[in-house]
Amino acid sequence: MFESLAEKVYIVDVDQDPKKASKELGLGLSSSEMEKVSEYFKKKNRLPTDIELQAIDQAWSEHCCYKSSKVVLEETLFNVKSDSNVIAREDAGVMEFDDENYYVVGLESHNHPSAIDPYGGAATGIGGILRDVVCMGAQPIALTDSLFFGDLDIDVNELPAGVKHPRYLMGGVVAGIRDYGNRVGIPTVAGQVNFHQGYTGNPLVVGGCIGILPKKELIHSRVGGIGDIFILAGGRTGRDGIHGVTFASAELHADSEGEDIGAVQLGDPITKEPLMHLCLELNRKQLLTGMKDLGGGGLSCVVGEMALEGGFGATVEMEKIPLKAPDLAPWEIWVSESQERMMFTVTPENVEIVLEHCKDWDVEASVIGKVIEDKRVEINYENKKILDLDLEFTTAGPIYRREYNEINNDIEIEEELPTPKKKISENILGMLSETNTASKSWVIRQYDHEVRGNTVIKPLQGKIGHEGAGDSTVMKPVRDSWKGLAITTDVNSHLMEKHAYHGSMAAVEEICRNLVSVGARPDSLADCLCFGNPEKPDRMGEFRAACEGLARAGSEFGIPYVSGNVSFYNETAEYAVPPTPALLGVGIIEDVRKCITSDLKAEGELWIIGETKQEMGGSLYYRENGWDSDIVPQSDVKRFVKDMNALLDSIESGEIVACHDCSAGGMAIAVVEMCIGGARGAEITIPTELRKDVALFSESNGRWIVQVAPGLEKEFAARFECATKIGIPSEKITFCKNEEKKAELTVAQVREAWEMPIWNRLA
């Protein structure tokens, strides 16, 4: 089946036994895909080399060509109409910031690597998203992390074979993000940590990055023209990261660690830091015609993608690629995903000066090839051509219209309420202690979220030493401007599990509520769509429903999706992850000095904006009491947009001194979180039109708790169709209905319940 062409390069007789050839080469290509490959080479009147098959395998992986998702994405998210000015969608999204600058957004998942090597998988995920932003010419200013784990309290004996305990996974993932981000000096400013049984065997690790760049410095991920020279800069190429995209395009199993550990890359932030400076300097001096990072698929993807995007092809001299070990086979060199590597294209006259700059920054760099007219990639090795592939064939990839089970988006609006089991105060303390609600300070305090000095509003907000939960962080990215960027992340796994369509719409709405809570106008979204096996109709139905919800919400709100990825096969034999479209939202603030925070201030009435409804499906309150319901919160988009704009005007006018989004746990938990941050209590009157527990704990969309500046109540209330006064600051936290006290708690009680659960599990 194999015939030697050169040292460590073989001709493969795919016609003899395609399935056997695929297995022996470790390919992820299906039988039908191997048949297409065989037909291609028959037309060429020759057999393929092993490196050619490996290159096609990378390009046709789910991770690279989106073969199961492209049809759905083209019907949904790619058609979102927006009011924002999208400049580019490449390795990262580029958006208008002001007259002189763009901001850049990148979002990527690194799930499978983190499942088998949590520290390395998470660290290299951060390294990859930094490169995505840098290769647009932008200086990174902020990192985000959205993390999803199984139950921290699961008994080790209940874990499936080959699955690591969620506490171990969480500890390793957070350490990887901490060490990488802190060492490169980029603040990690926003994120979320979500727990659900479905993530037990397959945690999700989603990293985001925001950057800023002068408009004149925008560079694209494509070659400039025929004769341009390819320069590979940064780390050397090794065996780490072999078949990374193939590994990411299959389910995890009990033997994944032993079989696939080589697919996990090795990050090196000490190499990355000068490499980033080098990239930005070369670009600023206009010495590059194109720049792209080496991520999924390594050289096999970056060379062809840059060339084809420019309308050309490329030739590569393989011996010129710097290696970590001398015994790598050519196919290993070509598909390796070794980290900290960037590809530049440069005109011939600028090659030497670029190499001198690389030397000045102590970054290794080598000329490895050039741009040619024909849309093909050729590789020469030992004076022999070992790869010759048409780019339009390799990059097109197969496209599948997978079967799916349709989800009904119509929901009944009435349900029979169960009889309450616990007192209001017991429910509040229990819900605050639930790991999804409890303080994530164990994570946040490990990250440097203030390095570079541009973080105006921090992840935890309130009195020093008494900080509570915030909705968004705020960055001031330009030195001589007060204009800012607000950053937040969100998705509710439990709501998504109940209904993928309405859960997705709720996630987009909560992103908007979080941004507006600090005074920012939502401007862009990024989405990492993490789902199970797309070959199963149930999973594909969830994916389609989620995309439809995201698309509708984006279009209704006028907010574009500018970055992200699709991550399928997040599944083991025992568990599939809940449908998880992890979102990153960015908002624009005209003057960061007018921003507000979530902590309760000493003076000012508390009001609730929006309507509370009896829709308890997926709620924290129902989970706390062991109840279930399919009546999930729905979005009234037109009303929400009206209230959102009114609230922004109210904040701009100085009528609001504190604001907090109503989400998990409803009004009661939102008020308590404001009290924690303000280190003071509140006297709350429960609205009478609903049963008290529904009024307190419903997670209806479209709501905020705001504290109104004294004397401006009339001006504030006149802006809203539905805004109700609910209380005032006080010494203790009390909830009353019809002047009867239903619950009383001290700030110390709620702080202990909220602050300690994750520390107690992971300290």
HSE-up (13 A, CA, CB side) for residue 263: 26
Domain match, 582 and 618 both:
no
The predicted pLDDT at position 244 comes to 45
How far is Cα 115 from Cα 575, in angstroms, rounded to an integer?
13
**Catalytic residue of the set 63, 220, 243, 660:** 63
How far is Cα 369 from Cα 365, in angstroms, rounded to an integer?
12
Q: Which residue has the tokens 């609205």?
A: 687
Which of 543, 574, 595 lies at the terminal end of a domain, its last residue? 595
Domain match, 171 and 266 both:
yes
Residues 6 or more apart from 282 whose CB is under 8 A from it? 288, 291, 344, 354, 357
Which of 553, 580, 595 lies at the terminal end of a domain, its last residue? 595
- Quick one: how many helices (H) and strands (E) in the chain? 27, 30
Burial of 322 (0-12, 13-18, 19+ CB in 10 A): middle
Residues 6 or more apart from 714 whose CB is under 8 A from it? none
Residues of the chain with pLDDT under 50: 244-261
139 among annotated binding-site residues: no
Cα-Cα-Cα-Cα dihedral sign, residues 474, 519, 652, 682 = negative
Domain match, 574 and 662 both:
no
Q: DSSP assignment, residue 242?
A: T
Residues 6 or more apart from 343 whose CB is under 8 A from it? 230, 231, 232, 233, 291, 292, 293, 294, 302, 303, 306
The predicted pLDDT at position 413 comes to 66
Domain match, 646 and 579 both:
no
Domain match, 176 and 228 both:
yes
Helix (H, G, I), strand (E, B) or coil at 586: strand
How far is Cα 607 from Cα 112, in angstroms, rounded to an integer?
44
How far is Cα 641 from Cα 656, in angstroms, rounded to an integer?
18
What the block records as the tokens of 675 is 């009290």
Q: Are 170 and 115 in contact (CB under 8 A)?
A: no
The predicted pLDDT at position 264 comes to 61
Domain match, 41 and 67 both:
yes
Q: Are 300 and 394 in contact (CB under 8 A)?
A: no
CA geometry: angle 584, 95, 142, nearest 5 deg: 50
110 among annotated binding-site residues: yes
Q: Are 141 and 276 in contact (CB under 8 A)?
A: no
Q: Are 686 and 736 in contact (CB under 8 A)?
A: yes
Q: Which residue has the tokens 């624009």?
A: 588
The predicted pLDDT at position 475 comes to 97
pLDDT digits (tens, 9 = 90+) for 214-223: 999 999 999 9
Domain match, 273 and 388 both:
yes
How far is Cα 436 from Cα 538, in angstroms, rounded to an integer?
26
pLDDT digits (tens, 9 = 90+) for 347-406: 999 999 999 999 999 999 999 999 999 999 999 998 899 999 999 999 888 999 999 998
Name which of 153, 114, 161 is nearest 573 in CA terms: 161
pLDDT digits (tens, 9 = 90+) for 702-761: 999 999 999 999 999 999 999 999 999 999 999 998 888 889 999 999 999 999 999 999
How far is Cα 64 from Cα 397, in angstroms, rounded to an integer?
9
* Three-state SS letters, 172-211: HHHHHHHHHHHHHCCCEEEEEEEECHHHCCCCEEEEEEEE
**CATH classification of the domain holding 677:** 3.90.650.10
Domain match, 640 and 718 both:
yes
Domain match, 547 and 677 both:
no
Domain match, 588 and 700 both:
no
How far is Cα 527 from Cα 565, in angstroms, rounded to an integer?
7
567 among annotated binding-site residues: yes
565 among annotated binding-site residues: yes
How far is Cα 540 from Cα 493, in angstroms, rounded to an integer?
17
Strand order from edge to edge, sheet including 681-685: 656-661, 704-708, 605-609, 723-730, 681-685, 733-737, 740-745
Domain match, 332 and 358 both:
yes
Burial of 555 (0-12, 13-18, 19+ CB in 10 A): middle
- Establish whether 494 is a catalytic residue: no
- Residue 673: give the domain boundaries: 597-763
Q: How many residues does the chain have?
A: 763
Residues 6 or more apart from 754 whose CB is under 8 A from it? 432, 433, 437, 438, 439, 468, 672, 673, 676
Which of 575, 595, 615 lies at the terminal end of a domain, its last residue? 595
The predicted pLDDT at position 255 comes to 44
Q: Are 234 and 342 in contact (CB under 8 A)?
A: yes
Q: What's at 449, amino acid-wise?
A: H
**Catalytic residue of the set 110, 220, 494, 499:** 110
Helix (H, G, I), strand (E, B) or coil at 332: helix
337 among annotated binding-site residues: yes
108 among annotated binding-site residues: yes
What the block records as the tokens of 273 is 């830091």
Domain match, 369 and 458 both:
yes
- Establish whether 277 is a catalytic residue: no
564 among annotated binding-site residues: yes
Domain count along the chain: 2
